[in-house]
């Protein structure tokens, strides 16, 4: 099975969109997970619901809302246009935004669970041993939550790679710019005689997801001391 240059381009674009989406969203996901796991504030339930919205709203609706927000006349798109003179519409960066928004709830869920699983008594022990809050976080909380952070990132990456509805309604299907694996597979299905390309791209999709899962499991075994991603 040999991929054509065009197909390689699609694969690399997908990896770029998925990777950038996950890396960019990770700090936000961690902060939200921390707030939801540890925070006590009014409106927590509302924030919880808001974070999970992309999970339950039809992706096409999420994409349409992104379009409204990022259009040149929209609240975020207007600022980007005015301050930086850029737009994310019909660009790979827009595809990454769509993928990131769709991946966010899954990442927050996984990280939140792992943070809730960290034994607070170990943090107390660290404090009594002379570690301030920052050192306690860096040497106890974060390492113990790391398997969950990895699991969340892998889940998010898989979700980002598979993103279809929000992407196509937000940034459309532009070959070489926003045409990621699922969009390319969909396009190929519309073309008579495209079955060969569908098969190849589908096989690559499965392979990438599989490798990502295995890799994160291996890293978790190494760092988590018996905690599993799978």
Question: Does 121 help bind another protein (rule: CB under 8 A)?
Answer: yes
Return the H-helix or E-strand segment holding 23.
helix 5-38
Q: Which of 38, 44, 225, 228 binds another protein (CB under 8 A)?
A: 225
Stretch that binds another protein, among 54-62, 136-144, 171-179, 189-197 (CB under 8 A): 136-144
CB of 38 to another protein, least distance (A): 16
Q: Is 138 in the site for another protein (CB under 8 A)?
A: no
Quote the least distance from Cβ 127 to another protein, whole Å. Answer: 4
Q: Computed from CA positions of residues 219, 224, 229, 230, in that sequence, does the dihedral angle turn out positive or negative?
A: positive
Side-chain half-sphere CA neighbours of 214 within 13 A: 6
- Non-local (6+) Cβ contacts of 184 within 8 A are 7, 10, 175, 197, 201
CA distance 47 to 148: 21
- Cα separation of 190 and 184, whole Å? 10
**Nearest alpha-carbon partner for 13 in 196, 167, 214:** 167
Segment near another protein (CB under 8 A); pick from 104-112, 176-184, 199-207, 220-228: 220-228
Among 127, 162, 172, 198, indicate the residue that binds another protein (CB under 8 A): 127
Q: Which is nearer to another protein, 182 or 224 (CB)?
A: 224
Q: Which two tokens stand for residue 83?
A: 């301050």
Identify the residue among 27, 43, 132, 192 touching another protein (CB under 8 A).
132
Size of the site for another protein (CB under 8 A): 20
- DSSP at 123: H
Which of 65, 95, 104, 126 is close enough to bind another protein by CB under 8 A?
A: 126
Please say which residue, 19 or 143, places its beta carbon nearer to another protein: 143
């Amino acid at each position: 099975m040999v991929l054509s240059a065009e197909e390689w381009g699609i694969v690399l674009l997908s990896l770029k969109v998925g990777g950038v989406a996950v890396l960019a969203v990770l700090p936000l996901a961690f902060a939200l997970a921390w707030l939801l796991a540890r925070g006590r504030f009014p409106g927590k339930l509302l924030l919880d619901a808001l974070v999970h919205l992309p999970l339950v709203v039809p992706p096409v609706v999420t994409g349409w809302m992104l379009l409204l927000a990022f259009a040149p006349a929209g609240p975020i798109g207007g600022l980007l246009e005015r301050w930086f003179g850029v737009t994310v519409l019909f660009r790979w960066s827009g595809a990454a935004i769509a993928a990131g928004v769709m991946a966010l709830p899954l990442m927050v869920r996984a990280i939140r669970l792992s943070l809730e699983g960290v034994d607070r008594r170990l943090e107390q022990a660290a404090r009594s041993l002379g570690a301030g809050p920052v050192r306690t976080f860096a040497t106890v909380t974060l390492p113990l939550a790391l398997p969950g952070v990895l699991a969340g990132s892998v889940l998010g990456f898989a979700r980002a790679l598979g993103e279809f509805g929000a992407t196509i309604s937000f940034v459309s299907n532009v070959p070489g710019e926003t045409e990621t694996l699922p969009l390319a597979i969909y396009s190929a299905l519309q073309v008579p005689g495209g079955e060969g390309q569908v098969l190849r791209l589908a096989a690559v999709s499965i392979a990438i997801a599989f490798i990502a899962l295995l890799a994160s499991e291996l890293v978790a075994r190494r760092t988590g001391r018996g905690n599993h991603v799978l």
